[in-house]
């Protein structure tokens, strides 16, 4: 019976092991040999979920303890390669359920308990203060919360590893700027990051554009962008919008949500589930559908575009499988997704950015449809068009370098 056999490689350093359940014992075999343990000898069954660094996915794990400090580890996460994990939950669950029944029948004194992996405890320790602070900022008022957060980050940020990365990126991008100018930009970057953190609790209030007049005291436009925004808000048919991590980039989602039709935005979920849930509550007021970045994201994006939706993406991060572009005179990898989708759907591309102004105000800028490059057959040239969008983002960053996330490892070969 298939549910009585399970094969797994529990870590990148272990062997592939096959486990079999017979009438009285659990058997296993791998390249190093074979073994068995009677069900009656198993004294504890510990079940919990495990998460690996760099991934937000969780997998079931079961630890069987027997004898003097001996144990067997069974889990749904199969390490199929150095950095590849295959989820074998579909075969793992039936196997474990059958195994638990056999152990309970053979040893009524066996202890069955549920617990948490140590990384889950760390996640909870990180998430709790984040959620508490977010809720607290909603109580003390936006201006006070933003001032406090920016003050803290200006003092804490320079002590973090990201500060060294940001300084190196700035020096390489602006070789003619003095040390004092670099320090000023770095201070501004941390000030902006602190403000963004505090502003999460107030995003719905910060976006004060009404449905008719567009723009209030906080969100401002120049006349050209006001006209373009009003036209695009009522436009029909699919379209793509790209942005960057400038000022409070989250407000771009509210701008996208002003469109009368269906809208969606692609985002990178936090690794910690509790933090993602908190952010989801905040973002729900934007009326935009969130598509988590994953292998399935491209299919969801295409389906949305087929329905005539507007889809937004931030494209200023390193993309390992991307195309080569020039960014501040240096070669890096950029995501070609926007250009590829525009090529498939022949839909327009717009750039949008938020600029932080003094007095707690912001300006929304929207470009004209991006003049994409085309090949000899008339199709959108993906690398060249990606370079055009990268150039637009570079111009935005040059305008306000202190409002961009310089601590990203943007320039990497792979």
Token match 């580890």: residue? 73
Alpha carbon 124 to its chain centroid, in Å, reads: 18
What mean pLDDT do residues 47-52 have?
A: 83
* 407 burial level (CB within 10 Å; 0-12, 13-18, 19+): buried
What pLDDT does residue 1 have? 61
Percent of the chain with pLDDT over 90: 59
- The tens digit of pLDDT for each residue in 246-259 reads 999 999 998 898 88
> Which DSSP letter does residue 16 get?
P
Q: What percent of the chain has pLDDT over 70?
A: 89
Collapse the DSSP code of 105 into the 3-class scheme (helix H, G, I; strand E, B; otherwise coil) and give the result: helix
Q: Domain ranges for the chain, please list them.
A: 2-115, 124-191, 210-403
CA pair distance 199, 96, nearest whole angstrom: 46
| Secondary structure of residue 84 in the 3-state scheme | coil
Q: For the segment 322-372, what is each residue's pLDDT rounded down to a tens digit?
A: 999 999 999 999 999 999 999 999 999 999 999 999 989 999 999 999 999
In the prediction, which pLDDT does 397 show? 97
What is the model's pLDDT at position 317? 92
Q: What is the DSSP letter of 211?
A: T
Query: What's the DSSP call for residue 69?
Result: T
Q: What is the mean pLDDT of the chain?
A: 88
pLDDT for the residue 140: 76
Q: Compute CA distances 178 → 166, 174, 175, 181, 344, whole Å.
A: 15, 9, 8, 5, 45
The per-residue pLDDT for 213 is 47
Contact 241, 352 (CB under 8 A): yes
Binned at pLDDT 50, 70 and 90, residue 308 comes out as very high
**Could you tell me the fold of the domain covering 2-115?**
PH-domain like (2.30.29)
End-to-end CA distance of the chain: 45
155: buried, middle or exposed (CB in 10 Å: 19+, 13-18, 0-12)?
A: exposed
For residues 256 and 405, give the distance between their C-alpha atoms in angstroms, rounded to a whole number. Answer: 22
pLDDT tier, 177 (very low <50, low <70, confident <90, very high otherwise): very high
């Amino acid at each position: 019976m298939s549910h009585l056999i399970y094969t797994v490689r529990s870590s990148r350093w272990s062997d592939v092991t096959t486990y079999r359940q017979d009438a009285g014992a659990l058997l296993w075999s791998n390249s190093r040999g074979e073994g068995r343990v009677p069900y009656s000898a198993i004294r504890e069954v510990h079940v919990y979920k495990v998460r690996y660094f760099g991934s937000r996915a969780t997998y079931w794990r079961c630890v069987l303890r027997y004898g003097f400090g001996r144990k067997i580890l069974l889990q749904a996460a199969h390490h199929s390669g150095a950095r590849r994990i295959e989820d074998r939950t579909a075969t793992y669950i039936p196997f474990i359920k059958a195994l638990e029944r056999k152990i309970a029948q053979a040893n009524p004194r066996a202890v069955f308990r549920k617990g948490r992996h140590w990384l889950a405890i760390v996640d909870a320790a990180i998430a709790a203060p984040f959620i508490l602070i977010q809720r607290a900022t909603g109580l003390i008022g936006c201006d006070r919360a933003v001032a406090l957060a920016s003050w803290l980050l200006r003092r804490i940020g320079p002590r973090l590893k990201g500060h060294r990365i940001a300084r190196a990126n700035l020096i390489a991008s602006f070789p003619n700027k003095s040390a004092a100018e670099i320090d000023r930009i770095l201070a501004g970057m941390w000030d902006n990051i602190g403000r963004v953190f505090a502003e999460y609790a107030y995003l719905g209030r910060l976006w004060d554009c009404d449905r008719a007049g567009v723009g209030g005291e906080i969100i401002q436009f120049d006349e050209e962008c006001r006209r373009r925004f009003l036209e695009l808000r009522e436009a029909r048919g699919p379209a793509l919008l790209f942005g960057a991590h400038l000022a409070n980039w989250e407000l771009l989602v509210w701008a996208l949500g002003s469109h009368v039709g269906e809208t969606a935005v692609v985002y990178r979920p936090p690794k910690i589930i509790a933090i993602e849930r908190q952010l989801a509550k905040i973002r729900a007021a934007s009326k935009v559908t969130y598509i988590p970045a994953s292998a399935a994201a491209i299919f969801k994006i295409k389906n949305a575009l087929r329905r005539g939706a507007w889809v937004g993406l931030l494209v200023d991060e390193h993309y390992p499988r991307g195309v080569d572009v020039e960014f501040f005179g240096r070669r890096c990898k950029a995501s070609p997704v926007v250009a590829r989708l525009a090529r498939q759907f022949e839909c327009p591309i717009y750039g949008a950015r938020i600029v932080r102004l003094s007095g707690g105000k912001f300006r929304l800028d929207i470009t004209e449809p991006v003049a994409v490059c085309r090949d000899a057959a008339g199709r959108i040239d993906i690398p060249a068009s990606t370079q055009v969008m990268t150039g637009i983002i570079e111009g935005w960053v040059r305008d306000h370098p202190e409002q961009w996330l310089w601590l990203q490892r943007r320039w990497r070969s792979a």
